[in-house]
Every structure is written in structure tokens, then in C-alpha cells.
Amino acid sequence: MTPDGTAAPPSADGAAVRTLELTKHYGASVALSGLTMVVPRGEVFGFLGPNGSGKTTAVKLLLGLSRPTGGEAWVLGRPAGDRQTRSRVGYLPELFRYQGWLSAAEVLGLHCRLAGVARSEWPGQISGALSTVGLTGHADAKVETFSKGMQQRLGLGVALLGNPELVILDEPTSALDPVGRADTRTIIRHLRERGCAVFLNSHLLGEVEQICDRAAVVADGHVLAIGRLDELLGSGGVRLRLTGLTDVGRAALARRGTLAEHDGWFVVDGVDAGAVPELVADVVASGARVYAVEPVRQTLEERFLSLIEAEQARWQR
């Protein structure tokens, strides 16, 4: 409840992002349909989907760069697009270009001014951003001399100015080498530790799997699945290399999950990780010898593709 006794808006719960049936049409084309989600503060949220799935449209709506056809969205407790809220949001677009004749420090200074950062804080903000993204030694270098990876680092530095409470990153590691991707993951973890929410668009599913707490998979403007990564990926399983497996041992495996054999391995799907030691103990007690035990789990890429294929099949029917 608000102080005057009226019902509090959904944004008042402290979430960094909240949407309710958010929809965007361009004429007869549906770019986004009924997006409902909550991103708490201090969470890294992955927003995944193929090209044309509605990811960029969702970001534009959250930033107030586009108006919804229907539904509502709140960012940091205010309606999406609120001008005062924008200074608390950091944004790295997928496609950006800075003036080539400016130095890295000058680009950051310009964006400090655009973000409304107090002039007295500029030196600390600029040096801090350069240090965080690994460009301290290139502060006075012209942007036109930067590689794509260095420009990507600079763009990330711009998104971090002003100590934002929400950072929206659109393909932040697309131009980076393995070292740069590892550095970016470290930066994102530090943002999470200080309570900042990170909304991450990416097609590099391995990166998402390493860093995100939760994720949503979208296609054709619809949300296909949303939740923690362990929820999206399922319970997984285990495979064992065995000899001397008796009927008793086979029954012990089958009690723990769905049993199958592939290329000399015994595979048990649906096994909780905590049950693996007991499963192995049961097999050994039955007289079998265990030579190898390996976890089996669907990767995020496999889950992503299965969801997309199922959606395509649904539309073809």
C-alpha cells in the first residue's frame, strides 16, 4: 500500500525490471507479444532468441525508445521511459559507433555529461571505467585506432558510468577474444555483487550459461520458457562405464531413473546429482565394477534449439 492507502503499483516491489503483457505491433507484424517477466535487483538475466525474435524490441520498450502497443513495463520502480530513471540505467547497444577523432577518455567524458554526472566526479568515473574494462593504457588514444574488441570494451565502459542500478547489455562479448569475454564475465559478476541488475541479450549461449542466474527464451515475439537455468535445462542424468552388471544391478540403476545403453555406456536420465554416490554404491554392491562416472546434462544450446524447433513445428501445423 502507498502512504495514502491506495494499492501500490507492481513496480513498488523493488524489482529492477517488471513487465506485464508487454506487446508491440508494427502494423500487422507482431514484434513482441504478451511479455511478462520480473528481473530482481542483483540478478543477471539472460534474454535469448534468434534474430527477429523480439529481443531488441523489448530493450527499446524498456529504455523508452519505443512505445508499447499494449501492456505495461516498469524500470527501477518507474514506468519505462521515465526521464529521471534513465540516468540510473547503463546501456550497451549491439551496434554503436563513437567519434573516431575523440580519445577514449574524451568519449567517456562526453557520456558523463550526457548522463548528468556531476563535473567533479568525471575524473574518477573516467579513470574507473577505463581501469574496469582494461583500457587505462589507451586513455589518450583515438577511437579510430581501436580494434573492434577495444571499441567493445570502451562501449562497456560507457555503460558503467554513473554507477547504474540496471545495466542492459546487447551482445556485449560479440567482438571480444577469450580474454575479453572472461573479463566481461568478471565485470558482470562484480555488478551483481553490488546489487546491480544486468539484462543480457546474447546469442553466445555458452557465455549465458556461465554467468546468468535466470533466462528467458523468446521466438516470434513470444516467450517460450523462463526460469532459472537449472529449471530450463532439466534434471540431467549420469552415465557409467561398467562391467559385470547383473539383473540386480540393472534394477538398481532403473530405480534411480530412466535407464538406457549407448555406445557401451549405461545412461540413467533424471538422476539428481546428490543421488549419484548412492547409485554407484548400489551398483558396486550388486557385483558390478565401475570404471567411469560422468554427468549428463542438456546444454543451454540444446535446450534453446529444442524450444525453437518446437515453436516452428507448432506454427507449421
* 97 and 64, same domain (yes or no): yes
- In this structure, the number of other CB atoms found within 10 A of the CB of residue 149 comes to 17
Domain count, the chain: 2
* 57 and 134, same domain (yes or no): yes
By residue range, what is the domain housing residue 184?
12-229
* 100 and 46, same domain (yes or no): yes
Angle at the Cα of 183 from the Cα atoms of 178 and 186, rounded to 5 degrees:
130
**Residue 107 vs residue 260, higher pLDDT:** 107
Strand partners, 37: 19
Each residue's pLDDT tens digit, 193-222: 999 999 998 777 777 888 899 998 888 778
Each residue's pLDDT tens digit, 212-253: 999 988 887 788 888 887 777 765 678 889 999 899 988 888
**Residue 130 vs residue 183, higher pLDDT:** 130
User: Do the Cβ atoms of 144 and 100 come closer than 8 Å?
Assistant: yes
Of the candidates 229, 246, 263, which is a domain's last residue?
Answer: 229
Buried b (16+ CB within 10 A) or exposed e, 74-85: bbbbeebbeeeb
* 186 and 223, same domain (yes or no): yes
Residue 315 domain flag: no
* 275 and 196, same domain (yes or no): no
Domain holding 43: CATH number? 3.40.50.300
Residue 176 domain flag: yes
Taking the model in full, what pTM does it have? 0.77
Instruction: Place 312 in a pLDDT band, splitting at 50, 70 and 90.
Output: low
Nearest to 212 by CA among 243, 237, 240, 233: 233
Nearest to 198 by CA among 172, 153, 168: 168
CA distance 160 to 162: 6
pLDDT at 317: 62
* 269 and 126, same domain (yes or no): no
pLDDT over 90 (residue 122):
yes
Domain holding 292: CATH number? 3.30.70
pLDDT at 170: 87
Nearest to 39 by CA among 164, 165, 158: 165
Residue 102 domain flag: yes
**Residue 162 vs residue 175, higher pLDDT:** 162
Q: How many angstroms separate the most distant Cα atoms in the chain? A: 77
* 212 and 262, same domain (yes or no): no
pLDDT at 298: 64
* 211 and 241, same domain (yes or no): no
